[in-house]
Amino acid sequence: MGDTPEYSQDSSELSPAQRLEAPNTRLIDASIATINDMETLRACIAYENQHQQRVPILRQLEKRAIELRSQDDDD
């Protein structure tokens, strides 16, 4: 599993489409939870706004933004 190209990517290398178009909500939740920088988060928000505009996904992204900002404040 770990040696196949589809599983060898670092989570920061996932595109917004790969993060937000996962086949089930658990994978989307995990993809959002592993966003560790605002640049990636902004790209995901832009992607979601441009494509599906799912309110629950946008709320999760907003929550993750708050978490990232609070981590920046702690540093």
Residue range 18-74, pLDDT digits in tens: 999 999 999 999 999 999 999 999 999 999 999 999 999 999 999 999 999 999 887
Query: Alpha-carbon distance 58 to 27, whole Å?
Result: 15
- Establish if 15 belongs to a structural domain: no
Q: How many domains does the chain have?
A: 1
Query: Alpha-carbon distance 37 to 33, whole Å?
Result: 11
- Establish if 1 belongs to a structural domain: no
- Establish if 58 belongs to a structural domain: yes
- Establish if 41 belongs to a structural domain: yes
> Residue 27 is inside which H or E element, if any?
helix 25-33
- Establish if 47 belongs to a structural domain: yes
Which has the higher per-residue pLDDT, 23 or 10?
A: 23
Burial class (CB in 10 A: 0-12, 13-18, 19+), 74: exposed
The pTM assigned to this predicted structure is 0.80
Confidence bin at 7 (pLDDT 50/70/90): very low
Note down the domain range covering 55: 37-75
Confidence bin at 17 (pLDDT 50/70/90): very high
- Establish if 51 belongs to a structural domain: yes
- Establish if 12 belongs to a structural domain: no
What pLDDT is recorded for position 10? 57
- Establish if 27 belongs to a structural domain: no
Query: Alpha-carbon distance 5 to 73, whole Å?
Result: 36
